[in-house]
Amino acid sequence: MQYSFASLCGAGLTFRIDGFRLTFAVITTYMWLMTTLFSQEYLAHAGKKRRYYFFLALTYIATMGVFLSNDFFTTFVFFEVMSLASYVCVIHDEKPATMRAGGVYLAVAVIGGLVTLMGLFLLADAAGTLSFDGLYDACRGLAADPAGRQRLLIAGACILFGFGAKAGMFPLHIWLPMAHPVAPAPASALLSGIITKTGIFGILVVTAQVLSHDPLWGFIVMLLGTVTMLLGGLLALFSVDIKRTLACSSMSQLGMIINGIGMQALLGEENALAVRGSVLHMVNHSNLKLVLFMAAGVIVMNLHKLDLNEIRGYGRKKPLLMAVFLSGALGIGGVPMFNGYVSKTLLHEGIVEYIELLHAGEGWSLPFLSVSGATVLFSVIEWLFLLTGGMTVAYMTKLFICVFVEKNIDPAVQAAYDEKKPYVSRLTAWVLGISAAVLPVLGLFPGLTLDRIADASQGFLRGEPPAHAVHYFSQTNLQGGLISILIGVLLYFLFVRILLMDKEGHYLNRWPAPLDLLTLIYEPLLLRFLPMLFGFFCKILDRLPDLIFRVLPKVAGVCCRVLDFSLDALILVFRKTTHRQLPDPGPSPTGYFFAFYVGGFLNAVARVLNRTILKKHPIVRNHVYSLAEREAMLSQTSRLVSASTAFSLMMFGIGLMAVTLYLIL
């Protein structure tokens, strides 16, 4: 079903419902229902609840708009509304640390949105459409031409920047470990479980519709996903904050999904396992983080603490909380019989399938690496995938043992934790129990649940159906999961217990502080270097008027003097050559006829008048000389006019010749 609203937002909004969109619309609604019910107790004593619930509802509408959109314009509009509305939920308590984390979250959202918008402009210019229905055919034609493919790759990279930032992809993951610990636990569950999936949605659309089966695009996305999942696992392993650990865990699991999206493009027509693994891990991760963040929220709600050394031993005599957290821990650790195992198995098998293609001499077309080199590289990536799965087991084991097995170092604190008193309401207990029960149901009956979701979703992602049914509990598939579990056990006992704990049993955060990208690169770049650079240019522009009104008049004066001298020199040259003055032959009798005769007549008249009427005031002027001067002046002026006219005619002739030559040549 498709719905269009042509009059909205100028370009119009379009929506569509199919299997993939319906799946995430249902998951979004389910998660909002559970977190809203949980919020009633979690925020019972908090202020500004109306503001929180208003923006929570607005975020829900925007998130649904993203998942149901049928063109990139609609996706972008709701994506930006979702980012701004969710910001208010993140900064709910408005503490200084919260506002700083919210500022980073908002900065990443705004910068990512602007870069995404630029990518959409480039894509619309190249393909002529932003509709998901028309992009595939338009981009397939463009990809056949090298120049067109380059335009698509540039547009895709810009779009990946913005959506990857929301998905916590390296190197734009900085907001995720900061925002989750300070946000309310229900908001953290939504941020990790479903809002990050809107970023994954955008990456999926670019990969499936714009750069479908493009090996270079798939390779870039796969590498970014691999770095993200490995770095997220390391950060979670070192963390001593329960919500930060879960946040970094989200980064790691999202990296696995991004890795699977890259494998979709690399595998081409044989991408069934990668497509199904990516979609199902999106579904599973949403359910897992809903359970884990609400369980962590119960601890925070009662203790108002996050440090593992302070919450240590809190859950020892709380069987419901222990069962809920254990269900989420087993699921995200990829333990068989739980939902996370199914999707991780598919993602792992997608990598293995590509390695088999490389061994057969197929599937690799990038010139910068040989087939043998690619085989080694992807074998390393497979082991990094298993290692990341092992790190997941290690840090979830660390959390479970710390909260539910070990005792607090302070006996008095542990005695207070062990007191039998209600720690959750009946409504919250039902919400936790139902959410946790979903996980083993999905894991025990994948053929009836997860496979059907994958079947309904693969059409939108242009995934091919699998050649045969996947036997999740076969020996081969179980082997990969058991390897990750074994790695996790070794990491816990040989790394966590020895290197990340002191002799007194305190958990230590040994992650090097200088390796924080926010303080190492982003803040110096955005808050120091760029302001200094732009300030330098602004100072130049500020002083430019002074330069114009002081220096330019002097320069103009010098230029005028040079021009005046040049004109004088040119006139002198002309007077010595083409317009030189001829010698004056002296007064000609015929030339002064008017002066001699008229002047003589006027002199005679003057003499008569002087003797009769003008005796007291006689006329003394000699009219012959006066008229002779006037006649000489008139003759000179006539010669100058003739010379100027000749000069003008000569310049006109030169200009006419230049124009004629220009037209001919």
Q: Alpha-carbon distance 397 to 491, whole Å?
A: 10
Given this model, what pLDDT does residue 590 score? 45
Flag whether pLDDT at 31 surpasses 50.
yes
Between residues 52 and 470, the one the model is more confident about: 52
Between residues 454 and 580, the one the model is more confident about: 454
Mean pLDDT rounded to a whole number for the chain = 83
Q: Alpha-carbon distance 485 to 387, whole Å?
A: 9
Q: Alpha-carbon distance 59 to 189, whole Å?
A: 13
Flag whether pLDDT at 320 surpasses 80.
yes
Flag whether pLDDT at 143 surpasses 50.
yes
Flag whether pLDDT at 586 surpasses 60.
no
- Cα 567 to chain centroid distance, Å, stands at 61
Q: What is the mean pLDDT of residues 644-648?
A: 66
Given this model, what pLDDT does residue 358 score? 84
Indicate the residue type of 377: L
In terms of Cα–Cα distance, which of 92, 185, 191 is closest to 431?
Answer: 185
C-beta atoms surrounding 305 within 10 Å: 14
Q: Alpha-carbon distance 187 to 197, whole Å?
A: 14
- Burial letters for 254-280: b for 16+ Cβ neighbours within 10 Å, e otherwise? bbbbbbbbbbbbbbbebbbbbbbbbbb
In contact, 377 and 294? CB cutoff 8 Å: no
Q: Alpha-carbon distance 513 to 502, whole Å?
A: 19
Asked, as a colleague might, if the bond just before 585 is cis with ω within 30 of 0, I would say no
Tell me the pLDDT band of 394, cut-offs 50, 70 and 90.
very high
Flag whether pLDDT at 580 surpasses 60.
no
Q: Which two tokens stand for residue 116?
A: 């995404």
Between residues 585 and 5, the one the model is more confident about: 5
In contact, 220 and 234? CB cutoff 8 Å: no
Tell me the pLDDT band of 646, cut-offs 50, 70 and 90.
low
Tell me the pLDDT band of 594, cut-offs 50, 70 and 90.
low
Tell me the pLDDT band of 573, cut-offs 50, 70 and 90.
low
Q: What is the mean pLDDT of residues 399-404?
A: 92
Tell me the pLDDT band of 518, cut-offs 50, 70 and 90.
low
Tell me the pLDDT band of 392, cut-offs 50, 70 and 90.
very high
In contact, 253 and 281? CB cutoff 8 Å: yes
Q: In this predicted structure, which of 37-41, 207-211, 632-636 has the lowest mean pLDDT? A: 632-636
Flag whether pLDDT at 377 surpasses 70.
yes
Q: What 3-state DSSP class applies to 160?
A: helix
In terms of Cα–Cα distance, which of 119, 132, 130 is closest to 163?
Answer: 119
In terms of Cα–Cα distance, which of 571, 658, 588 is closest to 628?
Answer: 588
Q: Which residue has the tokens 């609609």?
A: 74
- Cα 342 to chain centroid distance, Å, stands at 32
Runs of H (alpha helix) within 268-425: 272-303, 308-311, 319-332, 339-359, 371-400, 411-418
Q: What is the mean pLDDT of residues 569-594?
A: 54
Given this model, what pLDDT does residue 407 score? 86
Given this model, what pLDDT does residue 514 score? 65
Flag whether pLDDT at 199 surpasses 50.
yes
Flag whether pLDDT at 335 surpasses 50.
yes
C-beta atoms surrounding 99 within 10 Å: 14
Tell me the pLDDT band of 4, cut-offs 50, 70 and 90.
confident
In contact, 12 and 4? CB cutoff 8 Å: yes
Residues 32-42 pLDDT 10s: 999 999 988 88
C-beta atoms surrounding 325 within 10 Å: 26
- Cα 640 to chain centroid distance, Å, stands at 75
Q: How many helices (H) and strands (E) does the chain have?
A: 26, 2
Q: In this predicted structure, which of 61-65, 170-174, 201-205, 340-344 has the lowest mean pLDDT? A: 170-174
Secondary structure letter of residue 269 according to DSSP:
G
Given this model, what pLDDT does residue 584 score? 45
Given this model, what pLDDT does residue 564 score? 60
C-beta atoms surrounding 22 within 10 Å: 16
Q: Alpha-carbon distance 306 to 531, whole Å?
A: 36
Runs of H (alpha helix) within 360-493: 371-400, 411-418, 426-444, 450-457, 475-491
Residues 478-516 pLDDT 10s: 888 888 899 999 999 999 888 888 888 888 888 776 666
Among 211-215, 317-321, 595-599, the range with the most confident prediction by mean pLDDT is 317-321
Flag whether pLDDT at 437 surpasses 60.
yes
Q: Which two tokens stand for residue 409?
A: 């170092």
Q: In this predicted structure, which of 369-373, 412-416, 577-581 has the lowest mean pLDDT? A: 577-581
